[in-house]
């Protein structure tokens, strides 16, 4: 018994170095996966259970930085977002852009292929499917499916578009009620083909660009977009400073 007691006193017990090493390895792996964020107000108040509503003193409306009139109000005003402003952080995520490598490639009436590079659907020719250099579908299943869709669209014409009925109406009333077919445009005949159009002479590239760029609606859109960009920059840089917060 004495020998066993001495042995137990001299024996330090099971080593915990392997356990701590495994914990450190696991911690390093988790730290490698964890996102890295710069220190900000939300991390400063991360462990606070109850946060007071932040307040700010309004800036002087008289335009001076230090001097305030006797009638000026020095009451502190609460921040509109309240205590949630100390826990939130706005991070703009744009995502990863993958460029479009395919094109529509539908045979046009001119003999060329449609060069539009839409991701899923062409606004003129519908769903984009793989096609060869001649504009023919590579997969026969896609060709059959597109043909079925086209036939279905052609069958959806109303009953009053019957050619015999339209011919009879045109014979009696002289009005052609035939609906124009998609993809086909009627050529407009000139009323006076032998005269020179003065408006067409003034229709230059510069005039067309000026009419589009300096249009009131376009200028309004550009100004609103620039205001949004300036406001975002202002909020990012000076949003937490009281002298800018209520004077904006």
For 148-161, the pLDDT digits (tens) are: 888 887 777 777 77
d(CA 44, CA 56): 19
d(CA 161, CA 159): 5
Task: Decide if pLDDT at 248 tops 60.
Answer: no
Average pLDDT, the chain: 77
| Listed residue (110, 134, 140, 115) closest to 125, CA to CA | 115
Structure confidence at residue 22 (pLDDT): 73
d(CA 184, CA 217): 32
**Which ranges of the chain would DSSP assign to H, the alpha helix?**
2-10, 17-33, 41-44, 140-155, 163-173, 198-202, 205-213, 216-238, 242-245
pTM (predicted TM-score): 0.32
Q: Residue 79 falls within a domain, yes or no?
A: yes
Q: Residue 76 falls within a domain, yes or no?
A: yes
Tell me the mean pLDDT in the region 89-113.
84
Q: Residue 69 falls within a domain, yes or no?
A: yes
Q: Residue 73 falls within a domain, yes or no?
A: yes
Q: Residue 56 falls within a domain, yes or no?
A: yes
Report which of residues 183 and 24 the model is more confident about.
Answer: 24
Structure confidence at residue 97 (pLDDT): 79
The number of distinct structural domains making up the chain is 1
Domain that residue 45 falls in: 38-86
Tell me the mean pLDDT in the region 42-60.
74
Q: Residue 100 falls within a domain, yes or no?
A: no
Helix (H) or strand (E) holding 122: strand 121-122
How many helices and strands in the chain, by DSSP H and E? Answer: 9, 4
- Model confidence at 1, pLDDT cuts 50, 70, 90, reads very low
Considering only 14-28, 205-219, 230-244, which range has the smallest mean pLDDT? 14-28
Q: Residue 170 falls within a domain, yes or no?
A: no
Task: Decide if pLDDT at 70 tops 80.
Answer: no
d(CA 45, CA 59): 26
Q: Residue 47 falls within a domain, yes or no?
A: yes
Tell me the mean pLDDT in the region 73-101.
76
């Amino acid at each position: 018994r004495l020998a066993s007691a001495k042995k137990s006193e001299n024996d330090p017990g099971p080593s915990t170095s392997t356990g701590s090493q495994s914990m450190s390895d696991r911690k390093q792996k988790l730290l490698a996966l964890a996102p890295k964020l710069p220190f900000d107000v939300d991390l400063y108040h991360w462990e606070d259970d109850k946060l007071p509503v932040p307040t700010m003193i309004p800036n002087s409306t008289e335009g001076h930085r230090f001097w305030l009139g006797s009638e000026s109000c020095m009451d502190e005003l609460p921040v509109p977002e309240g205590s949630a402003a100390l826990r939130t952080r706005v991070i703009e995520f744009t995502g990863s852009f993958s460029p479009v490598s395919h094109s529509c490639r539908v045979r046009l009436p001119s003999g060329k292929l449609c060069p539009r590079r839409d991701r899923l659907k062409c606004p003129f020719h519908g769903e984009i499917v793989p096609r060869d250099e001649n504009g023919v579908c590579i997969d026969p299943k896609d060709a059959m499916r597109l043909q079925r869709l086209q036939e279905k669209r052609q069958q959806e014409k109303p009953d009053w578009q019957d050619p015999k009925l339209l011919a009879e109406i045109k014979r009696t009333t002289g009005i052609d009620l035939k609906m124009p077919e998609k993809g086909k445009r009627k050529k407009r005949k000139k009323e006076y083909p032998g005269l020179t159009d003065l408006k067409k002479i003034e229709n230059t590239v510069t005039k067309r660009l000026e009419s589009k760029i300096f249009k009131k609606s376009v200028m309004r859109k550009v100004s609103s977009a620039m205001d949004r960009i300036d406001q975002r920059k202002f909020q990012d840089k000076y949003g937490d400073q009281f002298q800018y917060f209520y004077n904006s």
